[in-house]
Amino acid sequence: MTALTDFQRLEAQGSWRAAPDAPLREVIVSVGEATLVLSDPRTDRPLSHWSLPAVIQLNPGALPAVYAPGLGSEDETVAIDDPLMIQAIARVQGAVASHRAHSGRLRSGLLVLAILAVLGGLVFWLPGALVAHAARIAPPAQARDMGWAILADLEQGSGAVCRRESGQAVLDWLAPQLLGPDAAIRVVPGPIGGARRLPGDIYVIGSDLLRTASGPESAAAHLIAARLATRDEDLRQNAARHAGLLASLRLMTLGHLPQDAMRGFGAMMLSAPPPRPTDADLLSSLTERGIPAEPYARTLDPTGQTVLPLIEGDPFRNAPPARALLTDEQWLALQQICAG
């Protein structure tokens, strides 16, 4: 123990009492590296070993100094009047107290650092977790509100949604057959790179897929591809992240987003090409619905070189589907949906 460097092999006489009713006995008190040894002066046989850090003085400031092995062990005592020995024991006690204080400060510092680390982690994690939770628990009506808000923003770059009633009636009839009972399809004048799926099972296509096509098959395949390539929950998550923490909290508590929460999201969405499903998944879904794949593939690559698996895997490459997707009247009405 470094506190006892100056007191190695220090010895002094003391009066030891092994128990309250035991007689006093003269002993030699010696200091070891971490112990106080009480020995028989005639035989040098150790009678008791005390741990130096645990030793306590029962009568601080008095002489002779009376010590006990530690708290709870006051029945055994030794009285010492040698100043050097008393100084040695006092130095050990001071060193132990200093070490405990330092350890306490170290533990407190580590605890503070741990708390700060946890709080720092929460600062970075909690907002994202709340946003994700808001998107995850949004009921269908709120998810659709998010989708309509995105569509309103998307109209800023692609033009207002085409609303000719005869054309929209065809879309309303077609949507549940292609995409599911709750799906809604809208057409915008400008090209948007295919079909886009929005939260709430809303789908948007550009009128370019209708104006120049020979039939509805290409647009229908784009809509199915958009459904296969994206999950509604992922769309809600992306929209909620764009809206931010406060808007997401408002969605959870009040049930709706601020009016401008989706501002810029439509433009950001159109800046990237729409995701594509695997060819196998798309071909399977098109086959099930009686829709050929080649018209869709040619809109992606008119040469057909990069979409050859879709063209060669087209289930209706050699024979058309048994039933047309739309009648001629329906197709004409759909083509004119943006006519006014």
Give how far the C-alpha of residue 326 lies from the chain's centroid of Cα atoms, to the nearest Å.
47
Does residue 42 register a pLDDT over 70?
Answer: yes
CA nearest to 325, candidates 192, 249, 219: 219
Mean pLDDT within 180-185:
94
**How many Å apart are CA 156 and CA 223, to the nearest integer?**
22
What's the rounded mean pLDDT across residues 94-103? Answer: 66
> Which of residues 287 and 245 earns the better pLDDT score?
287
What is the rounded CA–CA span in Å between residue 229 and residue 219? 15
Confidence of residue 1 (pLDDT cuts 50, 70, 90): very low
Query: Among 107-116, 157-166, 261-270, which range has the highest average pLDDT?
Result: 157-166
- Position 226 scores a pLDDT of 95
Going by C-alpha positions, the residue among 72, 38, 282 that lies closest to residue 295 is 282
CA separation for the pair 249, 127 (Å, rounded): 10
Using the predicted structure, report yes or no on whether residue 4 has a pLDDT greater than 60.
no
Contact, 29 vs 10, CB < 8 A? no
The predicted pLDDT at position 123 comes to 45
Structure tokens at 339: 């006519």
Q: Which of 21-30, 113-122, 150-159, 240-249 has the lowest mean pLDDT?
A: 113-122
pLDDT given at position 72: 79
Give residue-wise pLDDT tens across range 115-157. Answer: 655 544 444 444 555 555 555 655 667 788 888 988 999 998 8
- What pLDDT is attached to residue 268? 87
What's the confidence (pLDDT) of residue 256?
63
Query: Do the beta carbons of residue 82 and residue 12 sit within 8 Å?
Result: yes
Average per-residue pLDDT in the chain? 83
> How many alpha carbons lie under 13 Å from residue 216 in its C-beta half-sphere?
25
Tokens representing 267 are: 């433009």
At residue 167, the pLDDT reads 95
Residue 61: burial class (beta carbons within 10 Å; 0-12, 13-18, 19+): exposed
- Burial of residue 250 (number of CB atoms within 10 Å: 0-12, 13-18, 19+): middle
For 189, the 3-state DSSP assignment is coil
Q: Nearest 10 degrees: CA dihedral of 156, 158, 159, 165?
A: -130
Q: With pLDDT > 90 as the criterion, what percentage of the chain qualifies?
A: 40
Supply the pLDDT for residue 128: 54
- Mean pLDDT for 152-180 is 93
CATH: 2.30.29.30, 1.10.230.10, 3.30.70.920, 1.10.10.60. Which one for 2-91? 2.30.29.30
Q: Is 216 left (phi over 0), alpha (psi -120 to 50) or beta?
A: alpha
Quick one: pLDDT at residue 207? Answer: 94
- Over residues 194-205, mean pLDDT: 94
- pLDDT at 94 > cutoff 90: no
Confidence of residue 50 (pLDDT cuts 50, 70, 90): confident
pLDDT at residue number 255: 59
Residue-range domain boundaries for the chain:
2-91, 138-335
Name the H helices within 159-255: 165-178, 208-211, 217-229, 232-243, 245-254
Q: What is the pLDDT of residue 3?
A: 47
pLDDT, average across residues 89-112: 69
Q: What is the pLDDT of residue 334?
A: 96
Top pLDDT among 235 and 108 is at: 235
Output DSSP code: residue 52.
G
Task: Quote the pTM value.
Answer: 0.62
pLDDT at 5: 53
Q: Look at residue 91 and tell me whether its pLDDT is greater than 90.
A: no
- Condensed to tens digits (0 to 9), the pLDDT of residues 260-293 reads 777 888 888 888 899 999 999 999 999 999 999 9
Q: What's the CA dihedral at 49, 53, 58, 59 to 10 degrees?
A: 120
**Which pLDDT score, from 0 to 100, does residue 271 have?**
86
Question: How many Cβ atoms sit within 10 Å of the Cβ of residue 59?
Answer: 12
Dihedrals phi, psi of 157, to nearest 5 degrees? -105, -25
pLDDT for position 299: 92
**Strand arrangement of the beta sheet that strand 202-206 belongs to:** 184-188, 202-206, 195-198
